[in-house]
Amino acid sequence: MDGFRKFVLRGNVVDLAVGVVIGAAFGAVVTAIVTGLITPVVGLLGSQNFDRLAVCLRGTCTRNPSTGVWTGHVLLYGSVLTAIVNFLILAAVVYYVVVRPVNRLMERFKTEPEVVQQTKKCPECLSSIPVGARRCAFCAVEQPAPA
């Protein structure tokens, strides 16, 4: 029991649990934005419902108009198109409403200076080595003194 308590109270397990809960709540917010704001605007562009698109593979296929259920051997490619369009809309909303603004905010409030790693190429093996190195760590060739 003591080992289980240590496992549960470790920081990364708690962080993961918090991340999952916040992720689920954030997913609900994004879904509400897409279904409440974006989808109605996209619906103004046309009245095509891709879910109804299908191809009968063999024999006779019928669709019940009240339930929308197909009978027979039917390839429902419209539902795949709908899922792809929904994914693209959701991805665009996440990118333009969340990712870009957060990246701009992070750039604006950046406190650490950019780290410029000073390396050079070894003329013998073309490995990347520090500028001040006197020998290549990969091929042991002596390096010219830095200028």
pLDDT digits (tens, 9 = 90+) for 25-45: 998 988 888 888 887 887 787
CB 97 within 8 A of CB 29: no
CB 74 within 8 A of CB 54: yes
pTM: 0.56
Element counts in the chain: helices (H) and strands (E)? 5, 4
Residue 21 has pLDDT above 90, yes or no: yes
Which comes out higher in pLDDT, residue 110 or 80? 80
Give whole-number Cα distances, 72 to 49, 55, 59, 103, in Å. 21, 11, 7, 51
Question: What pLDDT is recorded for position 146?
Answer: 66
